[in-house]
Amino acid sequence: MKKITKKALLFSLIFIFGCSSTTFVYNKIDFLLPWYLESYVDLNRDQKQDLDELLIPFFKWHREEELPKYAEIIENFELALDSTIDLEDIKEITNDVEDSWFRIEDKMILWTIPMARDLSDQQIEGFFQVLQTKTTQRENKYLSRNLQTYQNDNYKRLRKNLRRFMGGLNQDQLNLIKNTSKEMIRVDGQWINNRKALIEKLQVALKREDSWDLVIENITNRDDLVSINYRQNYAHNIEINQRLFVAILNSRTEKQDKKLRSQLLKYRKDIETLVENI
């Protein structure tokens, strides 16, 4: 049962992330994901058992309430494909996907508090050592790129995601992706700075002094950690990505349409099967 529910949650998160690669919230708290925790903290046997028990209501909520919402998002997308796609269609789907992540994020916080309460000071220290090491690795990887490499990486990512759903792309569609990649504002430096600020805030909270749990509960409300410039740049990137998707979808061939509908149907049926069999 536990293995299946983890598979269901992981599958649905892959769907969310695949549909919303421009959402900047999820990539700042990936270390709070249930199955990710043990790669950051060396838990003893009792703590592993406690974690499994803490996750039971989380998985139950996700299975009963969230998985059906994912199927509904896909179904709405399928219906939108029956006519010309406009920007509002894509914005609505993007908002639905983002709201799904925020709900997961809020629920995850509820089980991290009792888990964090039982960690030793040594485990907390090790947790932050891993966080800082991974952040440094990402900083070295991302910030070593020049602008051309950054734009090329965006191009490859967008092309890969669209190919996964639509198959091969024609030259006009590839040119649309290339132009969009060049219009995207570079945000990797701001992302790194924001991640460092979040780690600092967590370090203060996990000293576990008075009312530390309230700080953790509000850790998702991180607008104070995100600069206005960062939010504006991400909003810009999100919008031009949405416009790209509109253009690509409205230019799809009959073969691409068939591939896209088949892929969406597969996602929806897989989610419905998971709901029925868990």
In this predicted structure, the answer to whether residue 223 has a pLDDT above a threshold of 70 is: no
Q: Give 6's pLDDT tier (boundaries 50, 70, 90).
A: very low
Transcribe 218-271 into DSSP letters. TTT--GGGS-HHHHHHHHHHHHHHHHHHHHHHHT--HHHHHHHHHHHHHHHHHH
At residue 7, the pLDDT reads 41
Chain-centroid distance of CA 236 in Å reads: 18
Q: Tell me: the pLDDT tens digits for 67-105? A: 888 889 889 889 999 999 999 998 888 888 888 877 887
- Between 161 and 38, whose confidence is greater? 161
At residue 249, the pLDDT reads 95
Smallest CA-to-CA distance from 188 within 151, 241, 157, 223 is with 151
Smallest CA-to-CA distance from 169 within 85, 84, 255, 77 is with 255
Buried b (16+ CB within 10 A) or exposed e, 10-28: ebbbebbbebbbbbbebeb
Residue with tokens 């049926």: 269
Distance CA 278, CA 258 (A): 30
Average pLDDT value for the chain: 81
User: For residues 242 and 90, is the Cβ–Cβ distance under 8 A?
Assistant: yes
Transcribe 161-172 into DSSP letters. HHHHHH-S--HH
**Torsion angle, CA of 207/209/213/219, rounded to 10 degrees?**
-50
Phi/psi for 191 (5° steps) reads: -60, -45
Give the lowest-confidence range in 36-50, 122-136, 205-219, 247-261. 36-50
